[in-house]
Structure 1
Amino acid sequence: MNMLSFLGETPTKALRKAQEECGEDAIVISTKKISDPDSKKSMYEVVVALEEDYDTNKGKKPSSFTKKIVTSNGKLKDKDFSAKVYDFKEEILKMQDAIEQVQKSIWDPKSQLYDLTIPPEFVDIYNLFESNEFDQEMTYTIMKKTIRQLPVGMKSNPHKINDFFKLILRRIIPIKNEVPLRKHQRKIMMMVGPTGVGKTTTIAKLAARYAYKLGENYKVGVVTLDSFRVGAIEQLQAYTNIMRLPLEIVKKPEDLVESLLRLKDCNYIFIDTAGSSQYDIDKIELINEFQKKVDELPIEKVLVLPANVKQSDLMDIYTNYSRLNIDYLTFTKLDETKSFGNLISFAHKTKKSITYMSIGQNVPDDLVVSNSSFLIDCFMNHACVK
C-alpha cells in the first residue's frame, strides 16, 4: 500500500485535495492537526492509502501539499508527537448516539397536546411503556408525576426506578382476588365475549380447578347456551365427560331456570355463551334474554378478552358487551403477545377487575389466578412465563 499525506487549512480542504488527486479509491487512514514546518501555521493532515500500482499523477496535476510517507514496517510514521488525531468516524458515531438518545427522550404523542422531556434515567422505562403499547395519556400522567415526585437519591439507581414503576403499576391494576366459597355457598359465573377468544376452554380450566385442584371437593356444574357454533357442545361435552361433571344444554331462554335448578347442589356453576362479533348487537341481546329469565339470581358476568389485540379493539368489545352489565374481566392468549400495556391501561380505564388470565391451551394448567405481580412481570419482560 502507498501512504500519501495531504495538507489543508481545514480537514475538509485536506480531504478534498486527497479526493482530487487520488479519486474515490483512496482509503482515509487518519486525520490530525499538525504544525506546517514551512509556514509554522496549524494545518490539518489527511493520510490516505492506495494500492501499490495506483498512479497518483495519472491525468492529474500533483499537489504541492502532497507527500509520500515512507515507513520501514508498513505503518505510518508519527512526525509530530504533539499532534492531535481526529477520528471522524468515532465522532460521527458519538453524535448519532446522542441524537438517538435525544429522540428517545422527547415526548411525542399522536395528539401533540403534551410537552414532556424524559430524563435520561427514565428513558429505558419510557421505551418499555411505548413498546408495551401502554395508553399514551396514562404514560404521560405517570411519567410527569414520577419525574416530579421521585426522590433525587433514587433517580441514580436503575433498580430503584424499576421498583418504583412496578409499585405504580400495582396500584393502577384492578384485581379481583379469588376467595374460595364456604361449604354451603354457591356462585354462578357467565362467560361472555367475541367468537374465538377462548370462553369454552377457560370454563373447562375453571371447572377442573374448582372440582379437583383446590382440594375442597367443590361440586361443579356447567351450562352451555351456545347452540350456534359447530362443535361447541361436543367440545364442552368432551371436557365434562372427562371430569365427570354435569352438563346442561340450554337452547331457549325459558329453559335456563330449570337447568339451574337441576344444578342447585353445585357450589360453582359456569355458563358458556355463544360468541359473536362485538358489532352483532342482536346476538349480544339474545344473551340478555337468557339473563333476564334468571334476573333474581346473582350471576357474575365475566367478559373474556384476547390479550393479542390493540386497546381500541378491546374498548369496542367492552362498549357493546357492557349492555350485559359486565362485572369482571378475564384475559386469554397472553402467550400469543409480547405487549401487555394495553391490558393494564384498558382494565384501569374501565375500572373492571381482572379475575383470571389464560396463558395457553392446556387444560387445566394454563390458567393464572389474577395477581398484579404476574402481569407486571409480563409487562417488564415482554413475555408471560408459564
Structure 2
Amino acid sequence: MNMLSFLGETPTAALKNAQAECGEEAIVISTKKISDAKDGSKDMYEVIVALEDEDKEIKHTKKITSPSVSNNSTKDKSFQAKVYDFKEEILKMQDAIMQVQKSLWNPKSQLYDLTIPLEFVDMYNLFEQNEFDQEMTYTIMKKTIKQLPIALKANPKKVNDFFKLVLRRIIPIKQEIPLRKHQRKIVMMVGPTGVGKTTTIAKLAARYAYKLGQNYKVGIVTLDSFRVGAIEQLQAYTNIMRLPLEVVKKPEDLVEALLRLKDCNYIFIDTAGSSQYDVDKIEMINEYQEKVHELPIEKVLVLPANVKHSDLVDIYTNYSRLNIDYLTFTKLDETRSFGNLISFAHKTKKSITYFSIGQNVPDDLIVSDSSFLIDCFMNNSCVRR
C-alpha cells in the first residue's frame, strides 16, 4: 500500500491535487493544517491518501504555489509527494500486538504473576492447549525464563528444543527389559470399566509371544466373569494366538490357575473393571491378591488419555489401595491433549510402561518413550510411528 502526501492552501485544494494525480480510487487517510498564514503567506494543508495498487506508478511533481509564496525564495520550492510503504511495518506491528496479547498471563491465583516473554508465547499456548497442570506450567516457564541463555531465546528451534529437554526430564518412563530364559513375570492390569485392559493384554501377549523373537511362553488369566462377553473376547484372542487362558471366578482358585501356567515366562491377569468410586469392587481385587501374596505381582493401572486431569487423580486415588506399580495409558488416538498425562505421571511418580493408540491387535501399542509423548504434545495429536 502506497501512502502519498499532497499540499494545498486549503483542504479542498490539497484534495484536488491528490485526485488529479491519483484518481478517485485514492483513500483519504488524514487532513491536517501544517502551517499558518504569516508574513504575507497563506495557510498550508496536508492531505495524506493511500493507494491499494502498489504497482501503479505515481509521478508527483506538481508545484503548489501562490503569488505571495513566489516572492519568498525559501518557500518557492516544489512540494513533492512523499511515498511511504507502510505495509510491512504495519504487519509487524499487528503481529507484535497479537504476541503481547497472547503473552498475558491469566492466573487463577495472585501467586502466578509471571509475564511470558514473546519468545515463549507459542510454547505457553501449547501448554494451555494440552491442558497441562497450571502450577507445573508456571514452574517450568519461570525456570526456563531464568535458565535459558539470552543468545538462544531469539532462536525458535532452540527454545523448542529446550522445552522438549525439560519435558523429557519430568516424564517417568519404565524401560522395557525382556526376561531372561528362565525368568517369570506376573502382571495384573487394573482400572475402570472400558479403559481397554483386555485389548491391552491381548497386545502385550502377542508382543511377547511373537514379536520379540524370544519365543516366550505367555499365559492369560481373567478374573472378569461379570462383564458380558469378557471371557469370549479373551477366548477369541487366545485361540488366534494359541495361548492358554485360565478363567478364575473365586479368589481361592487363582493359586491353582497360576500353577497350571507355571511354565509361562509371562502371565497377564485381566481384572473386572468398575467405577473408580465403587470401592467395594476394587477391594475384591485385593482378595485375589491376598491368596497369592507370596508371589511378586506387578500391578499396572490402565488409564484412558481422553479424560481430564481431575478424573485421572480420582481413578489413581481409589485404585492406589492396590499398591499400583506402573501406569499404562490407552486411547491416545482419541484426544488432542497430552499435558494431563505428563503432569499426572510426574505428580504420582509412577513410571509409564506402554501407550495404546488404537484397537488393532497387536500393532497399536507403543513401548513407553518420552520422545513419543512429547511429539504428541508438540503436535496436539497422536503421532503414529
Provide the TM-score with structure 2 as the length reference. Answer: 0.81
1:161 aligned onto 2:159: yes
Shift of 1:251: 0.7
Q: Distance in 2 between matches of 1:183 and 1:318?
A: 34
1:45 aligned onto 2:53: no
Q: Distance in 2 between matches of 1:222 and 1:46?
A: 82
Q: Is the 8 A contact 1:193 1:303 kept in 2?
A: yes
Q: Distance in 1 between matches of 2:376 and 2:227?
A: 33
Shift of 1:316: 0.7
Q: Distance in 2 between matches of 1:238 and 1:334?
A: 25
Shift of 1:339: 1.1
2:75 match: none
Q: Structure 1: where are the runs of 5+ without partners?
A: 1-5, 15-25, 50-72
SS for the counterpart of 2:123 is: helix
* 1:56-205 correspondence to structure 2 within 5 Å: 81-82=80-81, 97-205=95-203
Q: Is the 8 A contact 2:60 2:81 kept in 1?
A: no
Shift of 1:85: 6.9
The number of aligned residues is 345
Q: Distance in 1 between matches of 2:285 and 2:60?
A: 87
1:232 match: 230
1:19 match: none
Shift of 1:98: 3.8
Query: For residues 253 and 76 of structure 1, do their structure 2 counterparts lie closer, same or farther at Cα, with a shift above 3 Å needed?
Result: farther
Shift of 1:153: 1.6
Shift of 1:44: 5.2
Match of 1:360 among 343, 346, 358: 358
Q: Is the 8 A contact 1:219 1:265 kept in 2?
A: yes
Q: Distance in 1 between matches of 2:142 and 2:168?
A: 18
1:322 match: 320
Shift of 1:129: 1.1
SS for the counterpart of 1:179 is: coil
SS for the counterpart of 1:301 is: strand
Shift of 1:94: 6.5
Q: Is the 8 A contact 1:33 1:83 kept in 2?
A: no
Query: For residues 30 and 217 of structure 1, do their structure 2 counterparts lie closer, same or farther at Cα, with a shift above 3 Å needed?
Result: same
Structure 2: which amino acid aligns with 1:255? D
Structure 2: which amino acid aligns with 1:295? H
Query: For residues 236 and 138 of structure 1, do their structure 2 counterparts lie closer, same or farther at Cα, with a shift above 3 Å needed?
Result: same
Structure 1: which amino acid aligns with 2:376? C
SS for the counterpart of 2:183 is: coil
Structure 1: which amino acid aligns with 2:368? S
Q: Distance in 2 between matches of 1:263 and 1:48?
A: 85
Q: Distance in 2 between matches of 1:42 and 1:347?
A: 72
Shift of 1:112: 3.5
Structure 2: which amino acid aligns with 1:272? D
Shift of 1:282: 1.0
Shift of 1:107: 2.0
Shift of 1:106: 2.0
Structure 2: which amino acid aligns with 1:155? K
Shift of 1:36: 6.9
1:63 match: none
Structure 2: which amino acid aligns with 1:45? V
Q: Is the 8 A contact 2:207 2:362 kept in 1?
A: yes
1:266 aligned onto 2:238: no
Query: For residues 255 and 78 of structure 1, do their structure 2 counterparts lie closer, same or farther at Cα, with a shift above 3 Å needed?
Result: farther
Cα deviations by residue, 1:182-232 (Å, 9 ceiling, x for unpaired): 111100000001111100000000000000000101000000011111111
Shift of 1:294: 1.0
Match of 1:382 among 374, 380, 383: 380
2:284 match: 286
Shift of 1:364: 0.3
Query: For residues 131 and 48 of structure 1, do their structure 2 counterparts lie closer, same or farther at Cα, with a shift above 3 Å needed?
Result: closer
Q: Distance in 1 between matches of 2:134 and 2:173?
A: 22
SS for the counterpart of 1:195 is: coil
Q: Distance in 2 between matches of 1:294 and 1:144?
A: 48
Structure 1: which amino acid aligns with 2:291? K
Shift of 1:30: 2.6
* 1:292-303 correspondence to structure 2 within 5 Å: 292-303=290-301
Structure 1: which amino acid aligns with 2:142? K
Query: For residues 82 and 34 of structure 1, do their structure 2 counterparts lie closer, same or farther at Cα, with a shift above 3 Å needed?
Result: farther
Shift of 1:42: 5.7
Q: Distance in 2 between matches of 1:246 and 1:309?
A: 34
Q: Is the 8 A contact 2:36 2:44 kept in 1?
A: no
Q: Distance in 2 between matches of 1:243 and 1:126?
A: 46
Shift of 1:45: 3.3
Q: Distance in 1 between matches of 2:176 and 2:323?
A: 20
Moved more, 37-46 or 172-181: 37-46
Q: Is the 8 A contact 2:29 2:50 kept in 1?
A: no
1:70 match: none
1:247 aligned onto 2:245: yes
Structure 1: which amino acid aligns with 2:80? F
2:66 match: none
Q: Distance in 2 between matches of 1:102 and 1:326?
A: 44
Q: Distance in 2 between matches of 1:42 and 1:286?
A: 93
2:16 match: none
